[in-house]
Amino acid sequence: MHCTNCSEHISDLAEICPKCGVRPYVTKNFCHSCGSSVNSNQAMCISCGTQLKEIKKTQTVDSTNPAIMGLLSFLLVGLGQMLMGQVSKGIVMLIVSIVLAFLTFGLSSLITTPISIIDAVLIAKKKQQGTQVGEWEFF
Ligand SMILES: [Zn+2]
Ligand SMILES: [Zn+2]
């Protein structure tokens, strides 16, 4: 395939173009099939007729939106944290909340869910301000 950013011929499996350092399909300047110049609005390459892939969104969820992260952590304890890069912390929070809920017949969720929400909101706010957040940092 060709790099969609600089038209360099690259491996089909290449995660990043060795020439320009951009991930394929993040930009849409060239056809991935024949390497001819295309417009980012084009759905199909005029030169070879290949269906052009849509520009890949680097992030599907806005992981710095405190409202969204709080909501996700309300739906599932630790989910917001996991999406913000605190994967181990989010998983541990989820496991602990499930174990506690099992032991207390669900009563513990009255405590673990608000903690999860508040933590997700505060961590998202820190990220929004550009503060570096450690994997195990709380609140
Ligand atoms: Zn390139
Ligand atoms: Zn083409």
pLDDT tens-digit profile of 18-31? 999 988 888 999 99
Q: What is the DSSP string of 46-115?
A: TTT-PBPPPPPPS-SS-TT-HHHHHHHHHHSTTHHHHHTT-HHHHHHHHHHHHHHHHHTTTTTHHHHHHH
Nearest ligand to residue 49 Cα: 2
The ligand placed nearest to the CA atom of residue 35 is 2
Residue 37: nearest ligand to its CA? Answer: 2
How far apart CA 129 and CA 87 sit, in angstroms, is 20
The pLDDT of residue 139: 92
Q: What is the pTM of this model?
A: 0.56
Q: Report how far ligand 1's centroid is from the alpha carbon of 83 (Å).
A: 29
- Give per-residue pLDDT as tens, 73-117: 999 999 999 999 999 999 999 999 999 999 999 999 999 999 999
The CA 29 to ligand 1 mean position distance, Å, reads 10
CA of 4 to the centre of ligand 1 (A): 7
Give dist(CA 6, CA 18) in Å, integer.
10
The residues spanned by each domain of the chain are: 1-58, 66-128
| 48 CA to centre of ligand 2 in angstroms | 4
**DSSP type of residue 24:** T
Which ligand neighbours the alpha carbon of 9 most closely?
1
